[in-house]
Structure 1
Amino acid sequence: MATVLERLKLVGAMGLGAPIIILLMMMMMVVPLPPFILDLFFTFNIAFSLLILLVTVYTLRPLDFAIFPTVLLVATLLRLSLNVASTRVVLLEGHTGPDAAGKVIEAFGEFVIGGNYAVGLVVFIILMIINFAVVTKGAGRVSEVSARFTLDAMPGKQMAIDADLNAGLINQDEAKLRRKEVAQEADFYGSMDGASKFVRGDAVAGIMILFLNVIGGLLVGLLQHQMAFTDALQNYTLLTIGDGLVAQIPSLLLSVAAAMIVTRVGGTNENVGAQFSAQFFNDSRPLALSGGVVGLIGLIPGMPNIAFLLLAGAMGGSAYMIQKRKRRQQEEAERLAEAPKLPAPPEVKELGWDDVQPVDLIGLEVGYRMIPLVDKNQGGQLMAKIKGVRKKLSQDLGFLIPSVHIRDNLDLAPNTYRITLLGVTVGEAEVLPERLMAINPGRVYGTLRGVEGRDPAFGLEAVWIEPAQKDHAQTLGYTVVDPGTVVATHLSHILQSNAHQLFGHQEAQQLLDMLAKTTPKLVEDLCPKTLPLNVIVKVLQNLLAEDVPIRDMRTIAETLADFGPRSQDAAILTTVVRAALGRLIVQRITGTEREIPVMTLDPDLEQLLQKILQGAGQDGAGLEPGLAEQIHKSLEEKTQKLEMEGHPAILLVSSPVRAWLARFVKHTIGSLSVLAYNEIPEDRQVKVVASIGQRG
């Protein structure tokens, strides 16, 4: 069988299939065929028609069987050729008996209609009416309307394809494919409109051939073979009706196939059987009601009760199964809806500037065990403490401290927090959320049991104790604070030490705008007439870096407006502004004491530093390492001595060396304040308590 199919495919690939079929049909019309060959061709015709019908049933779209009009024409011509060949045999050999035209025609004449030509004639006429008046006529009308509607819709479909192409919804290749499908659809329905006429003509030809065969057979039997009238009528009528049925049944199958393919609704991915099952048995109510009506009829006396009741039971059972299936599907859908859904994959979109997130000015990252300190719903007070820190620093420094962005970080240890400025880590420590920190301020009267640690803000010794030990720790002289206060104090210390990094052009402009509400002329003369905004920003940053508040913005602005025409060097302007703010600077260090204990440099050492800074610049690169180490050691010793005596540590120097010395001791001797002579107010007295010499 496989070999035969392969040979048939080879014949089709060589382009010989259609010519061979046409030659065979011509031969059947011209060359007499023996009954055995007719049986083969009749059987093939029936099988071919049934194959066409089944292919139509399983076709998803009409265009999937676009060759159907041509196949319909070939099948019609094949059947008519068989009619001509069988008519020849019937007229020539009909007098010999009912098997003269082959076993197939004899079987249809004897078995199908019981050998009764009257019954056969009625059956044949009924088949012709069904084929001609019902199926063929309806299929022809549907083909005609479909062809007209398809042709009318072609311009709109073409415009829709062009619109999708212009909008970028489809590419050029897909547009070509869709245009090709539209053209094929129009050609198909146009061809079906014409092919329906073949089926209609075939039905008319079948009726005419029947009457011609009966009349011709009687004449041949009576005149040529001197048969009795009843014998001639019996033989030729049975043969003719058998021949007609053999041809009419395939014709009916083809008519049904044509009607089915033109009545299909396109755009679905299901064949006729799947569509029928999905749409006909989707709802159980029609089946249930129909089964009820049939069951009631079956209960009427005199009716075939068994048949009706069996059918009613089958319909009711089917309705129950459909309802049960729908209920199970609904329960499954509800279960899936209640089940936790996986997060949808993130949509892949084109990158934009929104994906480049700016760094947080101030960030606080906490481990997962510190989340209760931040969460208000869990009694956390850290948010309120941080807000208080921002408010206090804003009032002390003179500008608004930015908001603190707090978030959890699973990469941190559970009890660890991290403080960042401009995306850079500037502080990190560990706290115990369930305990209190007892800080040793320098003098205590006992020890505590707990976890030893250090205050993250100032590095003081501390112990993490249980809350029940709070009163006892305070009695011993410890400073007891909760974990939230520890974090807030550490944050406050870092923000105060790095305030100059948080101050920028926007903050400077806001300060000037606020000052302009009271002294508009001053601001107008200062910026941008006298100094550009970037120079003002740099001066204010220098003041904040040296722990000088910028609350007195009016004094700062007036000083810059006076000295701005002389120099736009931010370092020189910072020195001038510090002198103008001298009263504020000194008061922050010594309070209201009139006498200020200070340290000074030996005159020779100070002159040496001035020469070095003048030659090498303010970075002090020309200073010998040994001399720098000696100066630092001496300053550290004197500072500790003053602090032990209860005095603030102040180093009083000339203006040219003040800025360098302030940077020199800032990170090593943080408690030492370096002031210039011109920064001391006139109402304060200076008392030199120590002098820093050159060589010990």
Structure 2
Amino acid sequence: MFKFGDIIVAIAVIAIVLLIIIPIPTFLMDLLLTINISLSLIILIIAMYIKEPLQFSIFPSLLLITTLFRLSLNISSTRLILGNADAGNVIEAFGNFVIGSNSIVGIIIYLIIVVIQFMVITKGAERVAEVSARFTLDAMPGKQMAIDADLNSGLISEGEAKDRRKKVQREADFYGAMDGASKFVKGDAIAGIIITIINISAGFAIGILQKGMEMTEAAAIYTNLTVGDGLVSQIPALLISTATGIIVTRAASESNLGNEMIKQLFSQPRALYIASGVLIILAFTGLPPLPNIILSGLLSFMAYTLQKTIKEAEMEQEIRDQGNEADEIRKPENVMSLLQVDPIELEFGYGILPLVDANQGGDLLDRLVMIRRQCALDLGIVVPIIRLRDNIQLKPNEYVIKIKGTDVANGEIMFDNYLAMNPGTAEGDLDGIKTVEPAFGLPAVWINESQREKAEMMGYTVVDPPSIIATHLTEVIKAHSAELLGRQDVQKLLDNIKESYPALVDEVLPKILSLGEIHKVLTNLLKENISIRDLVTIMEALADYGVLTKDTDMLTEYVRQSMSRAITKRFINNKKVKVITLAQELEQTIVDSVQQTDYGSYISIDPQATQSIAASLMKEIQKFMSIGEQPLILTSPMVRMYFKRIAEGVAPGLIVLSYNEIDPSIEVQSIGMVSI
């Protein structure tokens, strides 16, 4: 049945529509009316047993289908009543049971049921659905920000955040659908009243004019059938209206409605004692004493039993808590948790708290999300969760960035001020507090809001405090990206591309290289600010050259050559580039100084020669900087890696490329040479 559920439902909906057109016999009408009542009971019971509304998310659509089903049955029963004066045993039994021998009493009872259905339950459920939809939609941005805050603080994982966002979206869709679906219930109640009036008046006329009945006979027959038909349709409608009200007023809980109602209604012994006392007083004020005394005694007994149970439960819980506390102290996990080190931490003084608090207009949490996205695009790595902590030991406006528990950078901002930096083209000076921009060490000036427009017109770059912190954090992450990439992270990256390139990953890992060797190559690339986002190209190069050598430094050079276009685009902005080259005797000296071992290669060069190289390098770098150019060293492929190690001690972050890493379309101009 479940296998063909979609076909069954589609056929059922089409059959419901056909019921409006095709006449049906009375025995089939009895069956369909019974199905209608049964379905309404099932929906009501499900509504009482769900723990939260989303567990019955199909309800708005189901409400439409059941409403259409009842209306089609109303039309079919009207056809039978007016055409044959006979609508089956179910409708006749309902009419006889309610009306009995008095038609007027039956009509009044029917009208009361309709009023309760239309004015009380349906109207209330409709209003609750409207309010719930509005408040749910209004609360969506706050819920999304709370999820982002929990994600950035490390309280939840990416998967949990995704599930919570999906749930928030489903809640908004559900309550929005319920707001519209509640109109079906209201329209159904109105249609039921109109159909009843038509059945009585038209049936009375048809019975007298066409069938030749006496006035009293026609009134008795058609009134009986109409009231029975109305009850058969209104009772299921009343059940579904009640289910609608239960669902839209249901808050998420750990249990179903019945258990929650009993638990909350009879959870206060004091309330039961007070109610018992009031009933005793009422018993001596002229009201029937026996019912009041019986109920008062019952409530007193329930209150006493409940109070005793609560005390016993509290004692058991206290004993259990004492035992759990002792067990927790003895658990080794309490010590192990202290060894956990967060990959990235941002600690700040209390003066920076407004930048983190979304309720005070702070958007730093949103910026952290964007930092992680930007690093994924620029570097090709998934930055770990950035832990935010306030630290009262810091200055109010100071912040500290930690990598694996160690301070690597810090800065201080001026809240409600802006930082103005001269990009080199600004004209004039600004009045303010002189400082240094923390991310790049540029001279800057703190200015207030009134000076911001003036500074921008003068050509200064003006940024706000959150942007300063976000930029500084981004640069720290880029500088330490190689440290942040662990073997587990590499495995996740490989699993990601394996979905599209399974043959490539299976060839390299573990047949050619181990996970640790691949990790070493990737960290080598990140150390020189080269993105590993194109992991497919990297793995292709490792597949080609991994069979020739296991030296991860040499493999890194092969990978760099295969990524020549990406490296060129990253470090060279124009079609022409000015570079510093190495003298031929220097390159030969480096090649001759390379020592090979079983664990890789290293360079062993005379200290005096090293100092001579460093002096020549610094001279060329200063020449480059004097003309406003970024220093770029160009060497032969065999020398690049070893000269980079020498240059690191002189000019950290210096760009060193080989001839094979530059796109052939780039015109290279050498304006300096490093010699020994």
Task: With the length of structure 2 as denominator, give the TM-score of the two structures.
Answer: 0.49
Larger radius of gyration: 1
